[in-house]
Chains A and B, each alone.
Chain A
Amino acid sequence: MTTLIVVLGVVLVLMILYLIFRISTLVSVAKDKKETEVDSSNGLNAMLFILFMVFGIGGFFWYSFAHFDSYTLPVASEHGAWTDTLFWITMAVTVVAFVIISIIKFVFLYQYQYKEGRKAKFYPDNHYLELAWTIIPAIVLALLIFTGLRAWNDITSPAGENAEVIEVIAQQFAWTARYPGKDDVLGDYHYQKIDAINEFGLDLTDNKTFDDFKSLELHLPKGKEVLLKIRAKDVLHSVFLPHFRVKMDAVPGMPTQFKFIATKTTEEMREETGNPEFNYELACTEICGKGHFSMKMNVIVHSEEDFAKWKAEQETWLSQNPDYLKNVPAGLRESAMIKAGIPAETGLKFTQGEFGTAVGSN
């Protein structure tokens, strides 16, 4: 019943609108206006452009200043501070150009609206003017390009020898991190070795894998260069760390990387923002399917000491999954147990006896 009333109401409104339209058309026909005559709407349109300009530019400035804190994210990385500066320099340059051109344009529209009997100025070209507005933007853009290039080259230059290497692995719809363990070297992997438990696809014939450990949160040290090694298992994903101004796609079959230095611990950021609940986050920014919007990883930045402490507390992946000792070549098992921190008797249990068959796709 309500639907019927709504439909009838809409029909009624449309009919009234149509009647108004018909009447106004008939009136204008009755007045017998000349075909090319420019009527009073011309001035109205000109006026509306001025109003639009005033409210548009006014609203733009008002919102941009009044709500500055709500749309700017605090920055917590070294290169992020730099790219933010570039962003705001570009903003200043472009806003000045934008406002000037907009005002000129709308004022011209108003000032040069149709007037009976006036003739427009025949002004087909002016090479000096054209040269000026080719060269000036070119110079300004060249300056912006060179500052941008310097930053870009620096950001994408190879990481230092001592960088903390962390691997971030993307899959539908979750992130995992792999840390290299005490030897500071990530072990080999191969996608064919991935299974439900060996989710990294660790290649256990490589002795570097034995002390690697897994984390479902991304822990980072403050003040030390971090090199994120990024890969994806299934489709494209993209690592986005908004507060660190970090973004890099995760590509199946082609590992990517991004290096950066965090400058504020989670605790410091909580103080700065006045939000005790504050957490750094990692989001996915490349469409990857149904759960794209919920593909999140928590990020925690420690001081360097706390980070070292946290790392020391972690159990290796192999010690959590000792049955995979089966896949370690016999000659390496002993060193694997030592490196992974597996007690000898546990190790023996898993390499002999009832768990005697190899697991996974190795």
Chain B
Amino acid sequence: MATTHTHTHADVHHHDDHEHEHHEGNFWTNYIFSQDHKVIAKQFLITGIFWALFGGTLSVIFRLQLGFPEMNLEWMRPLLGGWITPEGKIDPEFYLALVTMHGTIMVFFVLTAGLSGTFSNFLIPLQIGARDMASGFMNMLSYWFFFLSSVIMLSSFFIETGPAGGGWTVYPPLSALPQAIQGSGLGMTLWLVSMALFIVSTLLGGINYITTVINMRTRGMSFTRMPLTIWAFFFTAIIGLLSFPVLFAAALLLIFDRSFGTSFFLSDIYIGGEALSNVGGSPILFQHLFWFLGHPEVYIVLLPALGITSEIIATNSRKPIFGYKAMIGSMLFIAILSFIVWAHHMFVTGMNPFLGSIFMLLTLIIAVPSAVKIFNYVTTLWKGNIRFTSGMLFSIGLVSFFLTGGITGIFLGNSAIDIQLHDTYFVVAHFHLVMGSASFFGMLAGIYHWYPKMFGRMMNEKLGYIHFWFTFVGVYMVFFPMHYIGIAGFPRRYYSFTNFDFASGFTDLNSLVSIAAILTLAAQFIFLFNFFYSMFRGRPAPANPWNSTTLEWTTPRNPGHGNWPGEIPAVYRWPYDYSKPGAKEDFIPQTVPFSETPESNLPHENELIKLESSNGDAIVVEGNKH
């Protein structure tokens, strides 16, 4: 597959014959150990949906404790067994395990693997005009490493000491010392092993995405003609490739500290009536390593969602995305800055305050490209002809969350203000909106928008609307009140607030948040029904249901392995020729040459006609230079 793009016309056909043989593989090679990027994408998607439900359910369990501290949870004993105390409450250590696993699962398994894994895999070859990823085998490995990692993480729920409980950031010494918390025993070992495998999966995927985007674009698909989705996936993969190895290093050193008696992160510890021999290590070192991944990770989950949204908003506003190059520029700028802002998570950890000043400066700079993106989205809506498809609704939801949650980042990035807000519910509200919910909505938008291409059928739009409105309002009801709770100083990861006078109010808001969380989770079942029902009974999808310009809609309704039955189409224009003045339709697909649209060409586009007609080879050579 990797050399498809260097084949001549005849070779491509020849190749396709091979493809045909591939199709007759057995169940195992077609659906389980498939090397087809579309199947792998669906595998990531289904696994991601499973994890999203799992992680969401965990959050509802701990929201029950926070919203209704008096409630008797005896009825959950069949499920949770000994984690329910004899008084019918959640065990405080299990509460911490719930919080930890909710964070880990949502950030890594849902919004990294579920989002990038699904859409980078699905869309990169389809939108750049490639038959598959550069290496189908590595791509397959990427999924199965993720699967193995998932199994191991899941298994930690079934051991006696329970899953890791030191917060998703697993700061040592808490995560290094089993005597400090039960979850730091076997549960933490499983967490580390699972994350190590997860990182391998991410790297295998990321290398593939980058290689494919650089090397396998079809004729005419120059970098400046790539849809913003592809740009976003491309940047995301690069960020992941540069930052995940650092987490790997941190995890490895933590394994050494836990199991082999080293002192990378441990020093001067007296615990359980015993002074440990570890000296010279620094817990702060771990935090630096963790957040060197941890902050770019925020953009690893967010950028793909922003890319998906750009595409969907442009398509459904029937307008070109406003400021295509500014959008790429701001993503590039965000990608670079994401590597030099990590210590804003550590203003009050005892880090040198001078370092705090530097990171505050860099952090607030990152607000500028983010603001540019918001303004560009809003301008894209201006004078559009907006169709509210389900995908469009979720994209608008993303823009709304990105704004609401992004703006609170200006408070938290300011180290002086952060002193009070650090580790309170204000932070919880901030990142759940700007990164959690925004990315989650990006993912849902992508599912609704590309479902017809994935499964050849349409999802039910009405159910999509209901799902959107319940989820949109629900998410705001969950996270908006948390700003107030945070301003009042409520610390995160508290099992109960009754021990402190300053934090004993707000039982009403906490109950409201919990009820909203339950309803929001319940609304996701509308989606699940729609998703699985439409797979078999949905209306068959037309070739190009959204009248979109990009390449994936030129494939057959159910594309086989290889995507296009004949030659891969060539690309002649950028992906955002919507409502072009003079054009008959309100969209011109990327595959339509300028020579066929003299009525709508801009002056500089008329000059490109010569290049098109002289010979496609000129472009081939340029596009495929090695």
* Contact assessment for B350 and A254 in the assembled complex, using a CB-CB cutoff below 8 Å: yes
A49 CA to B476 CA, complexed, in Å:
14
* Contact assessment for B357 and A285 in the assembled complex, using a CB-CB cutoff below 8 Å: no
* Contact assessment for A124 and B322 in the assembled complex, using a CB-CB cutoff below 8 Å: yes
Q: How many whole Å from B365's CB to the nearest CB in chain A? A: 7
Which of A107-115, A214-222, A321-329, A347-355 participates in binding chain B? Answer: A107-115
Which of B15-23, B185-193, B373-381 participates in binding chain A? Answer: B373-381
B275 at the interface (CB under 8 A from A): yes
Q: Name the A residues within 8 Å of B379 (CB-CB).
A: 123, 129
B92 at the interface (CB under 8 A from A): yes
Interface-central residue, B92, B364, B377, B480, by most chain A CB under 10 Å: B364
Chain A, 40-73, CB within 8 A of any chain B CB? 41-42, 45-46, 48-49, 52, 56, 60, 63-64, 67, 70-73
A-B contact count (CB 8 A): 333
B317 at the interface (CB under 8 A from A): yes
Chain B, 359-378, CB within 8 A of any chain A CB? 360-361, 364-365, 367-368, 371-372, 374-378
Q: How many whole Å from B384's CB to the nearest CB in chain A? A: 5
Which one of A64, A90, A122, A288 contacts B411 once the chains associate, using CB atoms below 8 Å? A90
Chain B, 382-430, CB within 8 A of any chain A CB? 382-388, 393, 396, 399-400, 403-404, 407-408, 410-411, 414-417, 419-420, 422-424
Complex A-B, nearest 6 residue pairs according to Cβ-Cβ distance, in ascending order: A253-B267, A156-B353, A256-B350, A121-B383, A151-B416, A45-B388
* Contact assessment for A137 and B269 in the assembled complex, using a CB-CB cutoff below 8 Å: no
Which of A178-186, A204-212, A234-242 participates in binding chain B? Answer: A234-242
**A133-B422 CB under 8 A given contacts A120-B578, A285-B491:** no
A293 at the interface (CB under 8 A from B): yes
**A35-B545 CB under 8 A given contacts A148-B360, A285-B491:** yes
Known contacts A86-B416, A124-B323, A290-B96, then 18 further A-B pairs from the complex at CB < 8 Å, ordered by chain A residue: A41-B461, A41-B462, A56-B476, A94-B408, A98-B407, A105-B377, A122-B580, A130-B372, A134-B368, A134-B372, A137-B371, A144-B410, A235-B177, A248-B350, A251-B284, A252-B283, A253-B268, A283-B500
B595 at the interface (CB under 8 A from A): no
Q: Name the A residues within 8 Å of B386 (CB-CB).
A: 46, 109, 112-114
Q: Name the B residues within 8 Å of A156 (CB-CB).
A: 353, 356
Q: How many whole Å from A235's CB to the nearest CB in chain B? A: 4
Chain B, 120-164, CB within 8 A of any chain A CB? none
* Contact assessment for B465 and A119 in the assembled complex, using a CB-CB cutoff below 8 Å: no
B451 at the interface (CB under 8 A from A): no
Question: Which residue of A is nearest B408, CB measured?
Answer: A94
B174 at the interface (CB under 8 A from A): yes
Q: How many whole Å from B104's CB to the nearest CB in chain A? A: 14
Q: Name the A residues within 8 Å of B348 (CB-CB).
A: 238, 247-249
* Contact assessment for A72 and B349 in the assembled complex, using a CB-CB cutoff below 8 Å: no
Q: Name the A residues within 8 Å of B465 (CB-CB).
A: 41, 45
A95 CA to B545 CA, complexed, in Å:
39
Question: Which residue of A is nearest B383, CB measured?
Answer: A121
* Contact assessment for A172 and B271 in the assembled complex, using a CB-CB cutoff below 8 Å: yes
B497 at the interface (CB under 8 A from A): yes
A interface list, Cβ under 8 A from B: 21, 24-25, 29, 35-36, 38, 41-42, 45-46, 48-49, 52, 56, 60, 63-64, 67, 70-73, 80, 82-83, 86-87, 90-91, 94, 97-98, 101-102, 104-105, 108-109, 112-115, 118-126, 129-130, 133-134, 137-138, 141, 144-145, 148-149, 151-153, 155-156, 171-172, 191-192, 194, 196, 201, 230, 233-236, 238, 240, 242-243, 245-249, 251-254, 256, 277-279, 281, 283-294, 296, 361
A246 CA to B501 CA, complexed, in Å:
17
**A120-B586 CB under 8 A given contacts A145-B360, A240-B491:** yes
Q: How many whole Å from A155's CB to the nearest CB in chain B? A: 6
Q: How many whole Å from A82's CB to the nearest CB in chain B? A: 8
A104 CA to B399 CA, complexed, in Å:
13
B interface list, Cβ under 8 A from A: 92-93, 96, 166-167, 171, 173-174, 177, 180-181, 266-271, 273, 275, 279-284, 317-326, 348-350, 353, 356-357, 360-361, 364-365, 367-368, 371-372, 374-379, 381-388, 393, 396, 399-400, 403-404, 407-408, 410-411, 414-417, 419-420, 422-424, 460-463, 465, 469, 472-473, 476, 480, 484-485, 487-489, 491-497, 499-503, 505-506, 539, 542, 545, 547, 576, 578-581, 586
* Contact assessment for B417 and A41 in the assembled complex, using a CB-CB cutoff below 8 Å: no
**A254-B174 CB under 8 A given contacts A41-B388, A45-B393:** no
Q: Name the B residues within 8 Å of A24 (CB-CB).
A: 462
A195 CA to B415 CA, complexed, in Å:
37
* Contact assessment for B269 and A252 in the assembled complex, using a CB-CB cutoff below 8 Å: yes
Q: How many whole Å from A135's CB to the nearest CB in chain B? A: 9
Q: How many whole Å from A46's CB to the nearest CB in chain B? A: 7
Q: Name the B residues within 8 Å of A25 (CB-CB).
A: 460
**A70-B488 CB under 8 A given contacts A130-B323, A252-B268, A296-B499:** yes
Which one of A97, A145, A277 contacts B364 once the chains associate, using CB atoms below 8 Å? A145
A63 CA to B495 CA, complexed, in Å:
26
* Contact assessment for B320 and A122 in the assembled complex, using a CB-CB cutoff below 8 Å: yes
Q: List 23 A-B contacts (CB under 8 A).
A: A35-B545, A42-B388, A80-B420, A115-B385, A121-B319, A123-B319, A124-B324, A125-B325, A126-B322, A126-B323, A133-B375, A148-B360, A152-B353, A153-B357, A235-B173, A254-B283, A281-B501, A285-B422, A285-B491, A290-B96, A292-B494, A294-B499, A361-B275
Q: Name the A residues within 8 Å of B472 (CB-CB).
A: 52
* Contact assessment for B388 and A289 in the assembled complex, using a CB-CB cutoff below 8 Å: no
A294 CA to B500 CA, complexed, in Å:
8
* Contact assessment for A235 and B404 in the assembled complex, using a CB-CB cutoff below 8 Å: no
**A289-B174 CB under 8 A given contacts A72-B487, A112-B384, A234-B270:** yes
Q: How many whole Å from A4's CB to the nearest CB in chain B? A: 15
Question: Which residue of A is nearest B540, CB measured?
Answer: A35
Which one of B353, B423, B495, B496 contacts A238 once the chains associate, using CB atoms below 8 Å? B423
Q: Name the B residues within 8 Å of A120 (CB-CB).
A: 317-319, 383-385, 578-579, 586
A279 CA to B505 CA, complexed, in Å:
15
Q: How many whole Å from B363's CB to the nearest CB in chain A? A: 9
Which one of B181, B378, B461 contacts A108 once the chains associate, using CB atoms below 8 Å? B378
Q: Name the B residues within 8 Å of A277 (CB-CB).
A: 501
Question: Which residue of B is nearest A278, CB measured?
Answer: B501
Which one of B326, B416, B422, B488 contacts A125 once the chains associate, using CB atoms below 8 Å? B326
Interface-central residue, A45, A49, A277, by most chain B CB under 10 Å: A45
Which one of B317, B365, B420, B545 contacts A247 once the chains associate, using CB atoms below 8 Å? B420
A90 CA to B415 CA, complexed, in Å:
13
Q: Name the A residues within 8 Å of B422 (CB-CB).
A: 247, 285
Q: Name the A residues within 8 Å of B171 (CB-CB).
A: 236, 286-287
Q: Name the B residues within 8 Å of A133 (CB-CB).
A: 371-372, 375
**A104-B416 CB under 8 A given contacts A121-B579, A141-B367:** no
* Contact assessment for B501 and A73 in the assembled complex, using a CB-CB cutoff below 8 Å: no
* Contact assessment for B323 and A125 in the assembled complex, using a CB-CB cutoff below 8 Å: yes
Q: How many whole Å from B328's CB to the nearest CB in chain A? A: 12
Q: How many whole Å from A119's CB to the nearest CB in chain B? A: 5
* Contact assessment for B488 and A73 in the assembled complex, using a CB-CB cutoff below 8 Å: yes
Q: Name the B residues within 8 Å of A281 (CB-CB).
A: 500-502
**A194-B275 CB under 8 A given contacts A122-B319, A141-B365:** yes
Interface-central residue, A234, A291, A294, by most chain B CB under 10 Å: A234
A123 CA to B380 CA, complexed, in Å:
8
Q: Name the B residues within 8 Å of A134 (CB-CB).
A: 368, 371-372
Q: Name the B residues within 8 Å of A115 (CB-CB).
A: 385
Q: How many whole Å from A62's CB to the nearest CB in chain B? A: 12
A159 CA to B542 CA, complexed, in Å:
71
A264 CA to B30 CA, complexed, in Å:
72
Q: How many whole Å from A95's CB to the nearest CB in chain B? A: 8
**A42-B387 CB under 8 A given contacts A90-B414, A109-B396, A236-B171:** yes
Q: How many whole Å from B139's CB to the nearest CB in chain A? A: 33
Question: Which residue of B is nearest A129, CB measured?
Answer: B379
Q: Name the A residues within 8 Å of B266 (CB-CB).
A: 252-253
Q: Name the A residues within 8 Å of B375 (CB-CB).
A: 101, 129-130, 133
